[in-house]
Chains A and B, each alone.
Chain A
């Protein structure tokens, strides 16, 4: 039961929507199209999650994150992952410095000390390096030489993967993938969007992105959406959807039983719930609907389902599995 007063809550809800729309509008000044990607990324940021973006190079993934960070007035850092990247290159290291004649080790923070981190082509780095970042994403802190350094809040990581260059890469293990709030596919722009991209970037003038929100706003928005209520039947629907991705569930479909090896963990359900609350507020509602759950289930579950050998041999995608699960359990 919410303890806040109703008018205050209503105002906060209105501010939530306003801020979100402001940021979205600001981002849209530079980023052409990709409305749903922008919305999902912003939702993930508000919910305190990280996003895995998958798309071919040149679709504006870096520009997107950069624009968002400008709009939110947040510190942005980018790391290009390569096979020779070391964990210290991410989290930082101690260097020997001379101060007042005394030589001492001083911690030099790595690029991870920012608010928004873009980890480009994360699958090109070695698993050791990947794990350094992923651990940081989870703990929101860095420990070097026994000293723990907290990261700034909010901290958000956007990792990218290139689907076409798989040779010599180190795919993220399932346990690591589960740490990402959303996995989003960046698709090729449409014809009009292509044209608009060229219009905006072909000339000398590039749009200025003004900060329209701050990190505190993001934190406040994140705290607000946690109070959005969800009715029990809707929550049951959410749980059914997530459980239906498990092949050993007696209510799982034949497709899941045949083509899925592992289903989503409860972290997936948490992601869906948080995102659904955010969406409900954005839709102007004060409760979570089944529609919100259905809408947010796909980006939250697609990277949390492991296909079986038969599923991969059939060339199935996890998206089709998740969509069929959603359709089967919608009432």
Chain B
């Protein structure tokens, strides 16, 4: 029992009462079994009596002879002699020697064991048990909430395509892998892993390049009043609405046979053409490194300069130059959207050319050539509208991806929230912090507070005139003021520290991104460089403007 009590008391637990019953029962059974197995026989008793009274095996021999049924002659003599000897012996003179030592030791051990049973559970263990319980409750409720989120997400999915992007079954499987646990670190670890999965899934749906292209296209479109709505939608990344806007720009049905209608149609097409041109220019800007400007592009640029359109503003060659300022690291094969925009522009241009040609030809509808030209116009129209529909579908797909990505990020944020909640559960149970009524209403602290050892080894800083600064001011020579050699060494050190920080799994993704953005802002790099590349050298070395 002492051993059992020590097993509990040593780490700080309280001895469960049922153990006393178990040990008592086990000891009783063991004692009974030991007594039964080691109990003495009459032969043992006879032998002991012979030894004690120095009877020289008389009693034992007599007992055994009688048991064997031997009698007569020497057996009777032996029996009689033994009786005489036994009669002369004082049985009561055999001393009872209780095991005092064992008894005293046993009583002491029992007293100690019982005493240990009254020892209460240590505060440390109590706190840990409370923490474990809190963590268990937290994980239980968090898991339920995540499951509910997945259910809500699945219910909200009307679009089959978005369902395919999100794969809710896979998400549900990830959430089902979560387990209730009392271990705080294990809980944080599993939520961090889940958050990573969600964020990676969201990253897989990223379409930054296309979005960047559309943002650039929006900048171009903004310059034209007719395409301002489309530009706005593209800039706000409301691609579904942008697709609708694009479809609205489809010209109405007109009979190409009527000359007046042709002009009208051409006017309507001009809006679309201008928009297509601007978007295509934005796309071409991304292909500056490959230098793949099509002949049609240059031809179109020339025609745009000559054409007069009341609704369309003259194209700005500077816009092309501005669009080309974007980094052209994309290959044509990868940039489907850019290709679509260019093809759309080509299709519109061809259609417009066909209409212009037909307008200029001014043929009679009964003329054979008229029919051919009409057929050509219809083909071009079909091609152009097809390209427009393709573009609209592309925008719709982008909208769905964006929506799915947002939902995944929301799930990731929920996981981050669970981690934060778990951290708060642990911190709230640790020592430290001011007690009620001990705080301060001032916005600054003039004296340092001693919070004691709460496991957190960073102290609040920020006293006026005290504390370290995260930035250093170094002496600077003329010019950049920074030595490249020292900065390179600093960059390497920063890179190592940053990589180890990013690689940790117990830090929420949101926190990592915040830190990354913070240091990025310190070094003054663009978002593009930070998002497109993990090369921290570029983040550390600002571009020369």
Contact A287 B72 (CB under 8 A): no
Residue A28 is within 8 A (CB to CB) of chain B in the complex: no
Contact B70 A229 (CB under 8 A): yes
Contact B61 A6 (CB under 8 A): no
Q: Could you say which residues of chain A place their CB within 8 Å of the CB of B57?
A: 231, 233-234, 287-291
Rounded to whole angstroms, the CA-CA distance of A291 and B74 in the bound complex is 19
Residue B65 is within 8 A (CB to CB) of chain A in the complex: yes
Minimal Cβ-Cβ distance residue in A for B63? A231
Residue A227 is within 8 A (CB to CB) of chain B in the complex: yes
With contacts A234-B57, A234-B61, A291-B56 taken as known, whether A285 is within 8 angstroms of B81 at the C-beta atoms is: yes
Nearest CB on A from B350, distance (A)? 111
Contact A3 B72 (CB under 8 A): yes
Contact A287 B61 (CB under 8 A): yes
Q: Could you say which residues of chain B place their CB within 8 Å of the CB of A9?
A: 73-74, 77
Residue from the list A3, A10, A287 in contact with B58, Cβ < 8 A:
A287
Q: Could you say which residues of chain A place their CB within 8 Å of the CB of B81?
A: 285-286
CB under 8 Å from chain B, chain A span 211-232: 227-229, 231-232
Q: Could you say which residues of chain A place their CB within 8 Å of the CB of B65?
A: 229, 231, 287
Minimal Cβ-Cβ distance residue in B for A277? B74
CB under 8 Å from chain A, chain B span 51-78: 56-58, 60-61, 64-65, 70-78
Minimal Cβ-Cβ distance residue in B for A228? B74
Contact B56 A229 (CB under 8 A): no
A116-155, CB under 8 A of B: which get 1 and which 0?
Answer: 0000000000000000000000000000000000000000
Nearest CB on A from B397, distance (A)? 90
Nearest CB on A from B60, distance (A)? 6
Rounded to whole angstroms, the CA-CA distance of A234 and B58 in the bound complex is 11
Rounded to whole angstroms, the CA-CA distance of A228 and B65 in the bound complex is 12
Sample 23 A-B pairs with CB under 8 A, ordered by A number: A1-B70, A1-B71, A2-B73, A2-B75, A3-B72, A3-B73, A5-B72, A5-B73, A6-B72, A6-B76, A9-B74, A10-B77, A13-B77, A228-B74, A231-B65, A233-B64, A234-B57, A285-B81, A286-B75, A286-B78, A287-B61, A287-B78, A290-B57
Contact A231 B76 (CB under 8 A): no
A229-266, CB under 8 A of B: which get 1 and which 0?
Answer: 10111100000000000000000000000000000000
With contacts A231-B65, A234-B57, A289-B56 taken as known, whether A1 is within 8 angstroms of B75 at the C-beta atoms is: yes
CB under 8 Å from chain B, chain A span 276-292: 283, 285-291
Residue A4 is within 8 A (CB to CB) of chain B in the complex: yes
Rounded to whole angstroms, the CA-CA distance of A1 and B79 in the bound complex is 14
Q: Could you say which residues of chain B place their CB within 8 Å of the CB of A10?
A: 77
B283-300, CB under 8 A of A: which get 1 and which 0?
Answer: 000000000000000000
Rounded to whole angstroms, the CA-CA distance of A234 and B65 in the bound complex is 12
Nearest CB on A from B73, distance (A)? 2
Sorted nearest first, the 10 A-B pairs with minimum C-beta distance are A2-B73, A289-B56, A231-B61, A286-B78, A286-B77, A289-B57, A6-B76, A287-B61, A287-B78, A9-B73
A1-22, CB under 8 A of B: which get 1 and which 0?
Answer: 1111110011001000000000
Q: Could you say which residues of chain A place their CB within 8 Å of the CB of B76?
A: 6
Rounded to whole angstroms, the CA-CA distance of A111 and B352 in the bound complex is 162
Minimal Cβ-Cβ distance residue in B for A9? B73
Rounded to whole angstroms, the CA-CA distance of A40 and B507 in the bound complex is 99
Minimal Cβ-Cβ distance residue in B for A6? B76
Q: What is A's interface to B at a CB cutoff of 8 Å? A: 1-6, 9-10, 13, 227-229, 231-234, 283, 285-291
Contact A227 B73 (CB under 8 A): yes
Q: Could you say which residues of chain A place their CB within 8 Å of the CB of B43?
A: 233
Q: Could you say which residues of chain A place their CB within 8 Å of the CB of B70?
A: 1, 229
Contact A2 B72 (CB under 8 A): yes
Q: Could you say which residues of chain A place their CB within 8 Å of the CB of B64?
A: 231-233
With contacts A229-B65, A232-B64, A285-B81 taken as known, whether A1 is within 8 angstroms of B72 at the C-beta atoms is: yes
Contact A4 B72 (CB under 8 A): yes
Nearest CB on A from B492, distance (A)? 74
Nearest CB on A from B310, distance (A)? 124
Residue from the list B60, B71, B74 in contact with A233, Cβ < 8 A:
B60
13 further A-B contacts with Cβ under 8 Å, apart from A2-B73, A231-B60, A231-B64, are A4-B72, A9-B73, A228-B74, A231-B57, A231-B61, A232-B64, A233-B43, A234-B57, A286-B81, A287-B57, A287-B65, A289-B58, A289-B61
Contact A285 B72 (CB under 8 A): no
Nearest CB on B from A153, distance (A)? 25
Nearest CB on B from A277, distance (A)? 10
Q: Could you say which residues of chain B place their CB within 8 Å of the CB of A287?
A: 57-58, 61, 65, 74, 78
The residue among B58, B70, B78 with the most chain A CB atoms within 10 A of its own CB is: B78
Q: Could you say which residues of chain B place their CB within 8 Å of the CB of A234?
A: 57, 61
B229-244, CB under 8 A of A: which get 1 and which 0?
Answer: 0000000000000000
The residue among B57, B65, B77, B81 with the most chain A CB atoms within 10 A of its own CB is: B57
Nearest CB on B from A272, distance (A)? 15
B34-58, CB under 8 A of A: which get 1 and which 0?
Answer: 0000000001000100000000111
Q: Could you say which residues of chain A place their CB within 8 Å of the CB of B61?
A: 229, 231, 234, 287, 289
Rounded to whole angstroms, the CA-CA distance of A5 and B73 in the bound complex is 5
Rounded to whole angstroms, the CA-CA distance of A233 and B43 in the bound complex is 10
CB under 8 Å from chain A, chain B span 172-219: none
Q: Could you say which residues of chain A place their CB within 8 Å of the CB of B56?
A: 283, 285, 289-291
Rounded to whole angstroms, the CA-CA distance of A3 and B64 in the bound complex is 19
Residue from the list A229, A232, A288, A289 in contact with B75, Cβ < 8 A:
A229
The residue among A5, A10, A228, A285 with the most chain B CB atoms within 10 A of its own CB is: A285
The residue among B58, B71, B74, B81 with the most chain A CB atoms within 10 A of its own CB is: B74
Rounded to whole angstroms, the CA-CA distance of A290 and B72 in the bound complex is 22
Q: Could you say which residues of chain B place their CB within 8 Å of the CB of A231?
A: 57, 60-61, 64-65
Rounded to whole angstroms, the CA-CA distance of A229 and B65 in the bound complex is 9
Rounded to whole angstroms, the CA-CA distance of A283 and B56 in the bound complex is 11
Nearest CB on A from B112, distance (A)? 39
Minimal Cβ-Cβ distance residue in A for B79? A286
Rounded to whole angstroms, the CA-CA distance of A304 and B76 in the bound complex is 36
Minimal Cβ-Cβ distance residue in A for B56? A289
CB under 8 Å from chain A, chain B span 326-361: none
With contacts A229-B65, A231-B65 taken as known, whether A286 is within 8 angstroms of B74 at the C-beta atoms is: yes
Rounded to whole angstroms, the CA-CA distance of A290 and B59 in the bound complex is 13
Contact A229 B74 (CB under 8 A): yes
Rounded to whole angstroms, the CA-CA distance of A291 and B56 in the bound complex is 7
Residue from the list A2, A232, A283 in contact with B74, Cβ < 8 A:
A2
Q: Could you say which residues of chain B place their CB within 8 Å of the CB of A290?
A: 56-57
Minimal Cβ-Cβ distance residue in B for A237? B57
Nearest CB on B from A280, distance (A)? 9
Rounded to whole angstroms, the CA-CA distance of A226 and B155 in the bound complex is 108
Contact B78 A1 (CB under 8 A): no
Rounded to whole angstroms, the CA-CA distance of A283 and B55 in the bound complex is 12
Nearest CB on A from B441, distance (A)? 90
Q: Could you say which residues of chain A place their CB within 8 Å of the CB of B47?
A: 233
With contacts A231-B64, A233-B64 taken as known, whether A4 is within 8 angstroms of B73 at the C-beta atoms is: yes
Minimal Cβ-Cβ distance residue in B for A2? B73
Q: Could you say which residues of chain B place their CB within 8 Å of the CB of A289?
A: 56-58, 61
